[in-house]
Amino acid sequence: MNPIITALLLSFASAPAGLGAQPGQPWTIESGPRSSQVNESTARGYAALPASVLVSVGAEVSYAREGVVVQVGAHQVAVANGAAQVTVDGTARPLAHAVYAESGVVFLPVDFFRELLPGLTDGRVRVDVARRSIRGSAARQAGAVAATEEVTPAVEPVPMRAPQRKLVVVDAGHGGRDPGASGPGGTREKNVTLAVARRLAAILREDPSLEVRMTRDRDTLIALHDRARLANRWRDEGQPALFISVHCNANPSRSEKGYETYFLAEARTADARRVEAFENASVKYEEAPVGGPMAFILTDLRQNQHLRESSDWAQLVQNRLREIHPGPNRGVKQAGFAVLRGAFMPAVLVEIGFVSNPTEERLLNGEEMQREVAAQLARSVHDFFARTQQASASR
Ligand SMILES: [Zn+2]
């Protein structure tokens, strides 16, 4: 298996299963010279392992919107989210528990590994549930040479699929009849956010490993909840993704200045509540809201899983802006932004400066500042993905 794909898939496995959740028992996966550890999840009341374990033992895993397709030796296994069965070469095979997806990770109940995996590999992969170990290789050639000790293949096997591109959703705050904040010199927030968002998207698109989408690329109003909904629709199952909403701050006191980055949570300070109230007021320009209270609760639960990653990323954004911004660095903050609430991926809202401060207003209007801010935001995206890949490589 291509190590890059393995690293990418393992990075999904490393995503926290939720704040406060107990990490499950570790399993040891040994395949050839490679050994790795992965934690089982008991989030649904039964032990399950991420689909990436199959990659570690040499199966080819591809992600589709409905689930996962695994090529194990000569067998094709289709795995659907929510089903207490898998389909092997077109025939349904029941499982004691259901397959599920969480935080972009597809989990298979342990009985899949115990009951089906050894047979699918003609015994080349051995599963010991008591010792929590999975040993062997699903690849047929590797099985054939197992008896003659380690033989390193001369050529790294070519992956069946190119590594999945990572999705970055760039959201320019406000737009259309919602101007956002206004500066003393007449600057409108919606124009600055669009200019920076366009530059950010252009820089990110130079990286072929990224898929870059903008919620708007012209002066139009997109409802707050639709921005997150668009982001979710663009994301494929299992695809690593980030969401960034670009804004400018404003304060009745014109001396306020600097930059701050928010992730979604209950607002902690009076100032965070003020910014939250202002940004959420965009709703007044929108049509009637959609979704009942239940939709909100579900959204909240799913969002919760990404809190830690969102707060990490917010810190990376602040670190990068510090390198170019006159400041002050107002830090990472928490607030309940409607635009972040529905995004099922790490999401932040960055306030790149105060249009209400005459000096910062001039800066934010300038091409140089817009270019530099966009470049630093792009670097923070790369920082985030590099960190998640590193975390999975070191386990
Ligand atoms: Zn705003």
Interval between CA 250 and ligand 1 midpoint (Å): 9
Report which of residues 40 and 370 the model is more confident about.
370
Interval between CA 2 and ligand 1 midpoint (Å): 43
Mean pLDDT value across residues 370-394: 88
Q: Is the pTM of this model over 0.85?
A: no
Q: Which of 115, 231, 221, 107 is nearest to 167 (CA)?
A: 231
φ, ψ of residue 7 to 5 degrees: the values are: -65, -40
Mean pLDDT value across residues 168-173: 96
Based on the domain organization, do 143 and 170 belong to the same domain?
A: no
Based on the domain organization, do 142 and 273 belong to the same domain?
A: no
Other beta carbons within 10 Å of 8: 23
**63 in any annotated domain:** yes
Report which of residues 370 and 336 the model is more confident about.
370
**54 in any annotated domain:** yes
Report which of residues 194 and 17 the model is more confident about.
194
Based on the domain organization, do 57 and 92 belong to the same domain?
A: yes
Lowest mean pLDDT among 243-247, 323-327, 337-341: 337-341
Based on the domain organization, do 384 and 305 belong to the same domain?
A: yes
Mean pLDDT value across residues 35-50: 83
Interval between CA 249 and ligand 1 midpoint (Å): 6
The pLDDT value given to residue 267: 61
Tens digits of residue pLDDT in 203-254: 999 999 999 999 999 999 988 888 888 998 898 878 899 999 999 999 999 9
Based on the domain organization, do 229 and 137 belong to the same domain?
A: no
Interval between CA 79 and ligand 1 midpoint (Å): 42
Report which of residues 391 and 48 the model is more confident about.
48
Based on the domain organization, do 273 and 364 belong to the same domain?
A: yes
Based on the domain organization, do 179 and 254 belong to the same domain?
A: yes
- Residues counted in the chain: 395
The mean pLDDT of the chain is: 80
Interval between CA 153 and ligand 1 midpoint (Å): 55
pLDDT above 80: residue 152: no
Share of the chain above pLDDT 90, in %: 44
Interval between CA 279 and ligand 1 midpoint (Å): 5
Query: Are residues 240 and 246 in contact, defined by beta-carbon separation less than 8 angstroms?
Result: no
The pLDDT value given to residue 1: 42
**160 in any annotated domain:** no
Based on the domain organization, do 272 and 322 belong to the same domain?
A: yes
Which band of pLDDT confidence, cut at 50, 70 and 90, is reported for residue 321? very high
**154 in any annotated domain:** no
Interval between CA 382 and ligand 1 midpoint (Å): 24
Domain finish residue from 117, 148, 179: 148
**161 in any annotated domain:** no
Based on the domain organization, do 258 and 122 belong to the same domain?
A: no
Tens digits of residue pLDDT in 76-101: 888 887 889 999 998 899 999 998 87
Tens digits of residue pLDDT in 291-305: 443 444 444 445 556
Which band of pLDDT confidence, cut at 50, 70 and 90, is reported for residue 147? very low
Residue range of the domain that includes 11: 3-148
The pLDDT value given to residue 15: 37
Share of the chain above pLDDT 70, in %: 77
Mean pLDDT value across residues 302-310: 70
Interval between CA 187 and ligand 1 midpoint (Å): 13
pLDDT above 70: residue 51: yes
**153 in any annotated domain:** no
Interval between CA 361 and ligand 1 midpoint (Å): 14
Interval between CA 276 and ligand 1 midpoint (Å): 9
Based on the domain organization, do 244 and 347 belong to the same domain?
A: yes
Query: Are residues 166 and 385 in contact, defined by beta-carbon separation less than 8 angstroms?
Result: yes
Both tokens assigned to 205: 């698109």
CATH number for the domain including 35?
A: 3.30.457.10
Tens digits of residue pLDDT in 353-378: 999 999 999 999 999 999 999 999 99
**158 in any annotated domain:** no
Interval between CA 282 and ligand 1 midpoint (Å): 8
**383 in any annotated domain:** yes
Domain finish residue from 113, 148, 183: 148
DSSP secondary structure string for all residues of 54-94: HHHTT-EEEE-SSEEEEEETTEEEEEETT-SEEEETTEEEE
Interval between CA 286 and ligand 1 midpoint (Å): 15
Interval between CA 237 and ligand 1 midpoint (Å): 30
Q: Which of 247, 208, 200 is nearest to 356 (CA)?
A: 247
Based on the domain organization, do 317 and 376 belong to the same domain?
A: yes
Which residues partner with 348 through β-bridges? 244, 263
The pLDDT value given to residue 287: 57
Based on the domain organization, do 185 and 135 belong to the same domain?
A: no
Interval between CA 280 and ligand 1 midpoint (Å): 8
CATH number for the domain including 282?
A: 3.40.630.40
DSSP secondary structure string for all residues of 164-223: PPEEEEEEE--BTTB---B-TT--BHHHHHHHHHHHHHHHHTTSTTEEEEES-SSS----
Q: Tell me how many domains the chain contains.
A: 2
Interval between CA 350 and ligand 1 midpoint (Å): 9
Query: Are residues 180 and 189 in contact, defined by beta-carbon separation less than 8 angstroms?
Result: yes
Mean pLDDT value across residues 152-171: 63
Report which of residues 231 and 52 the model is more confident about.
231
